[in-house]
Every structure is written in structure tokens, then in C-alpha cells.
Structure 1
Amino acid sequence: MYTRKNQLEAFNRLLDIMDELREKCPWDKKQTLESLRHLTIEETYELADAILDNDLEEIKKELGDVLLHIVFYAKIGSEKGAFDIADIANSISDKLINRHPHIYGDIKVNNEEEVKQNWEKLKLKEGKNSVLEGVPKSLPALIKASRIQDKVAGVGFDWEEPHQVWEKVQEEISELNEEIKNKNQEKTEKEFGDVLFSMINYARFIGVNPENALEKTNKKFINRFQFLEEAVKKEGKELSDMTLSEMDVYWEKSKAYFK
């Protein structure tokens, strides 16, 4: 691995390249904070995919892309006279020190949960009006639900035992089934949302990240279905001409390859 000196040299090289690109490249010169936003979101999702695939080489590449965006935003910020890369680094360093009084102060903690509780309390002392202010409005709903539950749990608003949460899941499913029977679409949607919210909460209690779990299932389904498509194609058949029971034969075979 590189020494700290080598790491700083590599980072300085990236800053120099960014300065040069911003000055000489027509595309880079044209970019704004707003024009980069959707590209940053895309890069973040690509990093998330690489992490789920446990592809360390791809993770390295995607982290480079994300780092480039950070440096790019810092460069634009410096041009506006608003902030530069040093401001960004110092800001997060100050925050980390302030949010870790058990490391940089005299606060004592016994476990991870106490660290999280202190974190949320410190944010309120810093001027936030609600522990939920830090949840981005544009987060996908599943991730947002998970973050909401994490944050309120951090200030003690939480169930005590996993079985209580599972009972709540069952209660919400019963209410959903009742509205389905009543054929009330608006209330059915509401209750379905409650089921999802309670399931995401239960996932936290059993140590499962719901976003990761669902994405792994998505990937498994894609792999199995594409296996089915390829197997059918090799036999000169068309899916549209097959019955569900005929497709199930190939689907069952796919499970041996993608578990």
C-alpha cells in the first residue's frame, strides 16, 4: 500500500488535472453544479452495484469516479469564491471531531448504540429542529424509510424486542387483507405502505439491510430469468409461445445455478 506521502501526491495530481481540464477542456469548462448532479447520482449507483457484487477492482474504479465529482464540485465552488477542497476537508474533519466526543472528548460510551444516540443528540444541539432533517427528500422510498427508522431509534423512539415488531408486521398484513376484501383501492395502498414500512423496521431488528436484500433478490431474479431466456432460445423456442408450466421447467433448472 502507498505511504501517506504517496497518497497526498496522488491527490495533488488529481487536483492539478482538474485545474487543467477546467481551463482547457470544452466539456469540463461548461459543467455546473446542476449539470453534474444527475451524473453524480449515476456514479453513486454504479458504486453501490460494485459493492453488492463484491467486485473490488470495480469498487476502486467507481470510487475514483465519485472522488472526481467531489473534486469537480470543489473546483466550481472555488471559482465562485464559496468554498474549495480544503474547506470541504476541514468541514468534515471538524464535524467528525465534534460528533465523536467519546474519542476527542471526555464522554464515555459502552457500545455502538450509545454512539448513535449521542450522534443524534449532538445534531440537535448544532441547531437542527428535528432528527429527521438529515433525511434527503429525494431518497428512494425504501432507503428513506430505513433512514427515518434509524434516526428516530437513535433518540429512543423504538420497539424493545424483535417479536414486537414482527407482531406489528402481522397486524399490518391483516389490515391490508381487510382493505383488499373491501376493494377500497385508496386504503389498500395506504395499508400496503404500512406493511412495507413495518417490514423495513423488522429488517433493522434482525440485522438485515432491506435495500441490499431486495437488490440481491433483484439480481438473482434477473440471472435466473436470463438463464431461462437463453435456454429457450438455444432450443429454438419463443417464450411467447410457451405455457407457464413449460417455462417453469427452465426456471427450476436456473435455481441450481443462481441461489
Structure 2
Amino acid sequence: MRDVPADFPSPMARLRWVLKALRAPDGCPWDRAQTLKTIEPCLQEECYELLDAMAGDDLPHHREELGDVLLQVLFQCDIREEQGAFGFDDVVNALADKLIRRHPHVFGQATAGDTEAALRNWERIKQTERKSPKASALDGVPAALPALLRAQRTQHKAAKVGFDWKGAEGPDAKLDEEIAELRAAMREGRKEGVAEELGDALFTLVNLARHLDVDAESALRAATEKFARRFKAVEQRVKESGREMGKLSLDALDAEWDAVKREGRA
């Protein structure tokens, strides 16, 4: 059994000591067996759990989820350090250097009177730092992003080089067009066509949201959460009445749903 030192120079030093102990030859078999590939799903899950915690008011839960994401960062740093590539200090120093370079209006002589000017500074310096010129304005949008977020980022990149509607009227009219094409594909019973047209409609809806200054990912998350709250309230009403969800007709369930909305229970 390994003794834990009583004192550490900082909380971060304590955490790093714990992780080194877990990855040591006499450490935890599970932690020692992990690779970048095996912990990839963990990182994805922890990021989504953090987003969920950010949306609530449970501060201890938020703190815990921040720690879980930090664990994933440190875990990857330790794996790379074991490979002789880089360590946590290298990551931290590189990040600090980048933030200083890309904020010349704070750490240099440049000026930025508003957020747009600050973003222009950031993007200009970012482009000069690239090792090779971009082949496309869309380069840099990760393919692994959630679909709605990737659509939003892609549209934003295209808009920065002038490929965009002037206002919300453009995507609004385009949405009507895409919905009409979707309905035509549905009438014709073309499954592949339905999927394609549905995708086009979703993409256009994201574009409309962007022009209305609405984050599509957040909007859909909020709508899903609202549905979940109301559905759970319906379940509770049905349970309190001694009935079972699976044995009620859709009309009866719709009536319960409407009652929940009227009562403002969710």
C-alpha cells in the first residue's frame, strides 16, 4: 500500500501525484491499461456531463464534473509524457504563450475597442501561425463535432468569406423550399430522398437560427429538456391516478400532456 504524503506545494501537485501513482507499475491495473484510444469515449461522456451540470444550479455537481474533465486532460498528458512526447507543463506553457500572442491588445501595442476587433486580432494571428495555408475556408471545423454544432460552425466559416444571406429572410424562405422538397420525397416514399431532404431542412434551420442569433445546439437541448420535464410530469399524473402509461390511449395521454401544460407543472 502506498502512503499519501501529508503536504503538497499545491492542489495541482497533489492531483498529479495521485495520477502518477495510479499509472505506476504498482498502481491501478485499470489506469495502467488505458491508452488514448480507450479513454476517448470517457472524454466525450465527461464533456457532455459537464454541459449538463453547467445548465443546472447544483454547484457541487458542476465542480465535480469540471474535475472529471480535468482528469481526462491530465490523463492524456501523462500518457504522452510516458511516450516521451510532452507533459502537462508543456501543455500549460504552450497555452499561456498562445493566449499572450493572440491578445496583442492586452500584452502588446495593438488596440481592440470591442469584441469584434478582439476576434479579428485572434483570427489574424491564428492564420499567421498555421504551418501551411488553408486549402479551404472550412478547414479547422472538426468533423467529430455534434452535427448541429458542426453545421453552425461551417456556416459561420462560410459567412466570414461572404457566402451568406444578408438577413434571416433568406434562410427563412429557403426553409419553406426545403420543407416542400421533404414533403414531396415523403409522398413519393423515397427513403434515401427523405433522409437527404430532412438533412437539408435541418441545415437550413440551423442557418436560420444563426441569423436570429440563436445557438441551435442550446435551443434543441432546451427543447428536449422541456419535453423530458413534461413527460415525467405526465408519468407522475398517470401513476398518481392508479393507471399505467402503456395501457392508455394516445388521446388520453394527450389530455394529460395538455393538463400538465395548463397547470404549468413543467
SS of aligned partner of 1:34 = coil
Report the number of matched residues.
252
Find out whether 1:62 has 2:65 as its counterpart.
Answer: yes
In structure 2, the CA distance between the partners of 1:180 and 1:58, relative to structure 1 (3 Å rule), is same
> Equivalences for 1:9-28 in 2 at 5 Å?
9-23=10-24, 24-28=27-31
Following superposition, the deviation at residue 66 of structure 1 comes to 0.6
1:79 pairs with 55, 79, 82, which one? 82
CA deviation vs aligned residue, 1:183-238 (integer Å, no higher than 9, x gap): 43333322221111111111122221111111111111112112212221222222
In structure 2, the CA distance between the partners of 1:110 and 1:179, relative to structure 1 (3 Å rule), is farther
Alignment gaps of 5+ in structure 2: 1-8
Q: Aligned equivalents of 2:116 and 2:206: distance in 1?
A: 19
- Higher relative contact order (Cα pairs below 8 Å, separated by 6+ residues): 1
Alignment gaps of 5+ in structure 1: 1-7
Residues 43, 62 of structure 1: 8 Å contact kept: yes
Following superposition, the deviation at residue 242 of structure 1 comes to 1.7
Which runs of structure 1 show a deviation greater than 6 angstroms over 4 or more consecutive aligned residues?
A: none
2:185 pairs with 179, 183, 200, which one? 179
Q: Aligned equivalents of 2:152 and 2:22: distance in 1?
A: 39
Select between 183-192 and 133-142 the one with higher mean Cα deviation.
183-192
**Structure 1 vs Structure 2: percent identity of aligned residues?**
40
Q: Which residue of 2 aligns with 1:167?
A: 173
Q: Considering only aligned residues, what root-mean-square deviation do their CA atoms show, in Å?
A: 2.3
Following superposition, the deviation at residue 132 of structure 1 comes to 2.6
Give the TM-score, by structure 1 length.
0.86
Residues 124, 131 of structure 1: 8 Å contact kept: no
SS of aligned partner of 2:10 = helix
Residues 80, 86 of structure 2: 8 Å contact kept: yes
Residues 233, 265 of structure 2: 8 Å contact kept: no
Q: Aligned equivalents of 2:160 and 2:140: distance in 1?
A: 13
Q: Aligned equivalents of 1:162 and 1:114: distance in 2?
A: 24
- Point out the structure with the larger helix share: 1
Q: Aligned equivalents of 1:97 and 1:213: distance in 2?
A: 34
Q: Which residue of 1 aligns with 2:3?
A: none
In structure 2, the CA distance between the partners of 1:113 and 1:211, relative to structure 1 (3 Å rule), is same
Find out whether 1:241 has 2:247 as its counterpart.
Answer: yes
Q: Aligned equivalents of 1:89 and 1:258: distance in 2?
A: 47
1:194 pairs with 185, 197, 200, which one? 200
In structure 2, the CA distance between the partners of 1:37 and 1:258, relative to structure 1 (3 Å rule), is farther
